[in-house]
Structure 1
Amino acid sequence: MAATFLPAFVAIIAIFSIFLSPRAKSDGAFFKGLSPDGRQPGLITLIFSQVTTWIFARSLMNAAILGYYYGLWGALAYAAYYLSFLTGAAIIDSLRFRHGCDSVQEFLRLRFGGAGASCYNLVIAIRLVSEVFANLLVIGILFGADGSHAYVIAILGFSAITLLYSTLGGLHASLRTDVFQMGVFLVVLAVLIAIALTADDFSFATLLFKPFVIDDPGPILLAVALLQVWSYPMHDPVMMDRGFLADRKTTRRSFIHAAWISSLCITLFGCLGVFAGAQALQGEDMNAALTRLLGETPMLIFSAALVVSAMSTLDSTLASSAKLAAVDMRLLRPTLANGRIAMAVFMLAGLLCVFFGSKDLFAAVAVSGTASMYLTPVVFFSLWRDWRDVPLWSYLTSFCVAVGGAALYFTESSGYSNLIEPLVGVSHKYSKLLLISLIVMTVGCAAFWMGARFPFRSSRTPQPVLE
């Protein structure tokens, strides 16, 4: 049944997505999500698009895995990242209506010159490639073992289908398909939760099988999320792009509703992992435990939820990739043809990462989130407090420390280095991540404070660039 259900399900979702993707005939539709008659997206479209593009396959899998190993606190730790919608709403509102900017790049270019925008573009380009990679990786895992023919064919076929309908309509097509895909996801999730609640071995007491111990990995990861949530939305171009599509009231409401809907969905999905972890036999992995507890059919529904979320995230990621290359970075002229070329390039980069890169799903989140923390002092001081005398060296210091911290966490968590434990006695990778995050945030904020209070004459903030 599994051999036929998932391919058929993918085919149905793909057919409907292609049907809902009208060919873009203007730059406004392709890059700004405008309808053929020039209308901006409405509230429901924005909410569903925000939620479904952030509840991606990697997130669902991560939430379930963290719940399996670390209990409810692991699931809640991952759900805490979805508070980014609230901080993201404040960031967007300040960018658009206080500072009058049309993008994050414009704000950074005004405050820190071309170097400021270039650092940001580098971080979000890596972020977009990691999104393509991670969601394709989940699809491959669903269809077969790593490196198997089914694994390779599933990834290549899924990427081709998603690229096809994404290049047809750009951001407008992504918004339309997001609404459809979110509707399907909600139905699938509701069915899956109902099955879990009626399972013989389920009880609400099982969700608390891991007690709260402050130095356990779950609570530690929750603390990491609460540190990274201030900057995390600003480095996510998919979220930021959707903050510039509608009027102020609609945008603000869409972010607020997306926050509680996505947090609830992620927590519920994470609880499936908690349920499996509480009932798991020795040596049993999460999928095996869930299959034993729920049965084959619910696990197919579990896989279907991952397929829908992967497709909805990929098309949005490709739309943001086109906008990044052609509009924000200005590497190409903002034409429909160039936008489609950019999508193909980012898809290819993601495929290369799948077949030649790391297979650790949460590592991509942690590395990306740590690198994004260079933006924390930008948000606190430049954006919200409107400090205009922060010099470029402060910004570059924050950037270098954050990127260095992200690289250090990657090498530590992957086993390539062990520098932190001999120095401070911290051994678990999430404890190391918390320490790195604290250092990155402290150094970045200190650099901004010192730069504003004691600026070096040779590195003043550049004047706005007139173009």
Structure 2
Amino acid sequence: MTAITLAAVAAALVLFTVLGLRARRADGLDDYLTARGSQSAGTLGLSFLASGMGAWILFAPPEVGAFVGPVAVAGYALGSALPFLVLGACGPAIRRRLPAGRSLAEFARERFGAPMRRWVALLSVLYMLCFLAAELTAVGAITGLLSGVDGRLATLGVALATLIYTAVGGLRASLVTDRWQAWLLLALLALVGTAAVTALPVDAAPAPEAASAPLPDALAVAATLVIAVTAANLFHQGYWQRLWAASDDAALGRGALVGGAATVAVVAVVGGLGVLAARSGLPLGQPPIPFFALLGEAPAWLSLPALVLGVTLVASSVDTLQNGLASLAATEAGNRSLNSARWITALLMIPVIAVALQGISVLRLFLIADLLCATAVVPLLLGLWHRVPAAAAVAGALAGLIGAVLPGLVATGSLSQALLAASFPGGVPTLGPFLGALLASSVVTIGWSLLRPATVVVSSR
């Protein structure tokens, strides 16, 4: 079985590598980073789906479904799709303002100046590095769960395979592989999900520890996930690259709708599997992994397609993140050469792989990165409103940092305890810090802008 597992994983990675290498080589740095104006709505929709998916969908939505219920799953699905819808809605205005743009950080500089650009770039890099480390850690864990193969081999295999074709082909390679990966993950998810549900025990009692949460608690979890996932993913540079890759505004809008709708469906289905696992009385494990608990009741052969599904999910997100980091690093470093962009991509992967090989949880760091993104997302997007000056945006971002700590300060009366609460001890997301960050940044940015004279704001560089 070990040999078959290794062969299946290797075959999937070789397929993705060949597809990526067959993509047209980049015609200069700009084409490598943006594939500017070349992509149709269908390609973008599949790319948004594949890029947004990752091994996280096999862990987080099923656990939320099992322990909180369908309402929270709905929030997770909505939060996962909203970034694409925001891109579709705001993207045309940003494309008109920055026709030769490459990143969200460039928009921040054009509207609010260099300090805001550096802060946005830092948040983007932090979030994407956490995402990369989490995905590569997850593929190792999935391999260990479903086979006798050392998970570190899968971690290294995915990292190196995706790095080869993204370093050579840039964004075009990622877009080509995304099309295949999107259809493959949909087919594998349908196969694995159907077979697992068919094998569920009949008339089993629900797991006692996995009852759905009361409606107010479920709504709070749903709101937390909507804010956290949406805010963080809007700092995903890989998504912003696709904004400029679209052939026109209509293609961007339709692609965002397709990607968003498909993402809602996938997350809802996987989260629903977690609900079924809990209500079927299966032992969910410790820590709980409802999706893999389902597989424990399914035929043994199902482990192989499930493992290929995991590898496909990780590869589809990792290549996008690698491209996004290369784009941001090359742009922030002063438009370096194409070869420099490739070397930057490779060098950034070294610490990520080192962290992933340790097999440690990066969930708490992930949540902190999500919260930092939530402090700045509203001031940044309000840059599309001509009345917002740079000072208002910067003040709003600072207010978001204070707002993230304020709920804990009010609740405990201790600054140290409030800071601890905002760092999510135990890796448990809570609504207070996210809601505080969002409200404080919004109120300060909008209030400051309304109190100043209504003049057109010129760009500051």
Structure 1 CA distance for aligned equivalents of residues 251 and 419 of structure 2? 48
Structure 2, unmatched stretches of 5+, are 408-414
User: Does 1:301 find its partner at 2:305?
Assistant: yes
Give the equivalent residue in structure 2 for 1:66. Answer: 64
Is 2:401–2:437's contact at 8 Å kept on the other side of the alignment? no
- Give deviations 1:50-107, integer Å, cap 9, x for gaps: 1000011123322222223323334323212122221221121231246767342232
Is 1:234–1:375's contact at 8 Å kept on the other side of the alignment? no
Q: Give the alignment of 1:32-51 within 5 angstroms.
A: 32-33=34-35, 40-51=38-49
Give the equivalent residue in structure 2 for 1:250. Answer: 251
Closer/same/farther in 2, CA of residues 342 and 220 from structure 1, 3 Å limit:
same
Local SS of the residue matching 1:281? coil
Q: Which moved more, 1:225-234 or 1:345-354?
A: 225-234
Structure 2 CA distance for aligned equivalents of residues 365 and 108 of structure 1? 23
Q: Which moved more, 1:21-30 or 1:3-12?
A: 21-30
User: How much does 1:140 deviate?
Assistant: 1.2
Runs of 4+ in 1 over 6 A off after TM superposition: 404-409, 426-429
2:435 to 426, 434, 438: 438
Closer/same/farther in 2, CA of residues 181 and 99 from structure 1, 3 Å limit:
closer
Closer/same/farther in 2, CA of residues 47 and 282 from structure 1, 3 Å limit:
closer
Give the equivalent residue in structure 2 for 1:322. Answer: 326
Closer/same/farther in 2, CA of residues 428 and 219 from structure 1, 3 Å limit:
farther
Closer/same/farther in 2, CA of residues 356 and 397 from structure 1, 3 Å limit:
farther
User: How much does 1:176 deviate?
Assistant: 0.6
Q: Give the alignment of 1:324-403 within 5 angstroms.
A: 324-327=328-331, 329-331=332-334, 333=336, 335-355=337-357, 358-361=360-363, 363-378=364-379, 381-383=382-384, 385-388=385-388, 390-392=389-391, 394-402=392-400
Give the equivalent residue in structure 1 for 2:446. Answer: 449
Local SS of the residue matching 1:271? helix
Is 1:374–1:399's contact at 8 Å kept on the other side of the alignment? yes
Give the letter for the 1:12 counterpart.
A
Give the equivalent residue in structure 1 for 2:107. Answer: 107
Give the equivalent residue in structure 2 for 1:269. Answer: 270
User: How much does 1:272 deviate?
Assistant: 2.0
Structure 1, unmatched stretches of 5+, are 410-416
Give the letter for the 1:297 counterpart.
W
Q: Which moved more, 1:70-79 or 1:245-254?
A: 70-79
Give the equivalent residue in structure 2 for 1:414. Answer: none
Give the equivalent residue in structure 1 for 2:460. Answer: 464
Is 2:105–2:117's contact at 8 Å kept on the other side of the alignment? yes
User: Does 1:193 find its partner at 2:193?
Assistant: yes
Give the equivalent residue in structure 2 for 1:12. Answer: 11
Q: Which moved more, 1:238-247 or 1:88-97?
A: 88-97
Q: Which moved more, 1:85-94 or 1:171-180?
A: 85-94
How does the TM-score come out when normalised to structure 2?
0.83
- Give deviations 1:189-214, integer Å, cap 9, x for gaps: 111222134234369x989x844623
User: Does 1:213 find its partner at 2:208?
Assistant: no
Is 2:33–2:241's contact at 8 Å kept on the other side of the alignment? no
Give the equivalent residue in structure 2 for 1:234. Answer: 234
Structure 2 CA distance for aligned equivalents of residues 408 and 308 of structure 1? 41
User: How much does 1:156 deviate?
Assistant: 2.2
Structure 2 CA distance for aligned equivalents of residues 404 and 358 of structure 1? 30
- Give deviations 1:201-247, integer Å, cap 9, x for gaps: 369x989x84462343x432211133346644431211111111121
Q: Which moved more, 1:228-237 or 1:150-159?
A: 228-237
- Give deviations 1:290-317, integer Å, cap 9, x for gaps: 2332232223333321110101111111
Local SS of the residue matching 2:38? coil
1:75 to 73, 76, 82: 73
Give the equivalent residue in structure 1 for 2:124. Answer: 124
Structure 2 CA distance for aligned equivalents of residues 324 and 400 of structure 1? 23
Give the equivalent residue in structure 2 for 1:89. Answer: 88
Structure 2 CA distance for aligned equivalents of residues 402 and 355 of structure 1? 34
Q: CA RMSD in A?
A: 3.6
Closer/same/farther in 2, CA of residues 421 and 232 from structure 1, 3 Å limit:
closer
Structure 2 CA distance for aligned equivalents of residues 358 and 454 of structure 1? 48
Q: Which moved more, 1:74-83 or 1:237-246?
A: 74-83
User: How much does 1:444 deviate?
Assistant: 0.8
Local SS of the residue matching 2:376? helix
Is 1:29–1:169's contact at 8 Å kept on the other side of the alignment? no
Q: Which moved more, 1:225-234 or 1:235-244?
A: 225-234
User: How much does 1:25 deviate?
Assistant: 4.4
How does the TM-score come out when normalised to structure 1?
0.82
Is 1:202–1:275's contact at 8 Å kept on the other side of the alignment? no
Give the equivalent residue in structure 1 for 2:411. Answer: none
User: How much does 1:141 deviate?
Assistant: 0.6
Give the letter for the 1:58 counterpart.
W
Local SS of the residue matching 2:214? coil
Is 1:192–1:301's contact at 8 Å kept on the other side of the alignment? yes
User: How much does 1:175 deviate?
Assistant: 0.6
Give the letter for the 1:318 counterpart.
Q
Is 2:404–2:432's contact at 8 Å kept on the other side of the alignment? no
- Give deviations 1:110-141, integer Å, cap 9, x for gaps: 22110011110000011221121011001111
Is 1:132–1:317's contact at 8 Å kept on the other side of the alignment? yes
Structure 2 CA distance for aligned equivalents of residues 230 and 152 of structure 1? 31
Closer/same/farther in 2, CA of residues 345 and 462 from structure 1, 3 Å limit:
farther
Local SS of the residue matching 1:316? helix
How many correspondences in the alignment? 438
Give the letter for the 2:54 counterpart.
F
Give the equivalent residue in structure 2 for 1:54. Answer: 52
Query: Identity over the aligned pairs, expressed in percent?
Result: 21
Structure 1 CA distance for aligned equivalents of residues 188 and 306 of structure 2? 8
- Give deviations 1:245-277, integer Å, cap 9, x for gaps: 121111100001111111101111122222222
Closer/same/farther in 2, CA of residues 6 and 78 from structure 1, 3 Å limit:
farther
Structure 2 CA distance for aligned equivalents of residues 381 and 25 of structure 1? 34
Is 1:105–1:120's contact at 8 Å kept on the other side of the alignment? yes
Give the letter for the 2:434 counterpart.
S
Is 1:64–1:271's contact at 8 Å kept on the other side of the alignment? yes
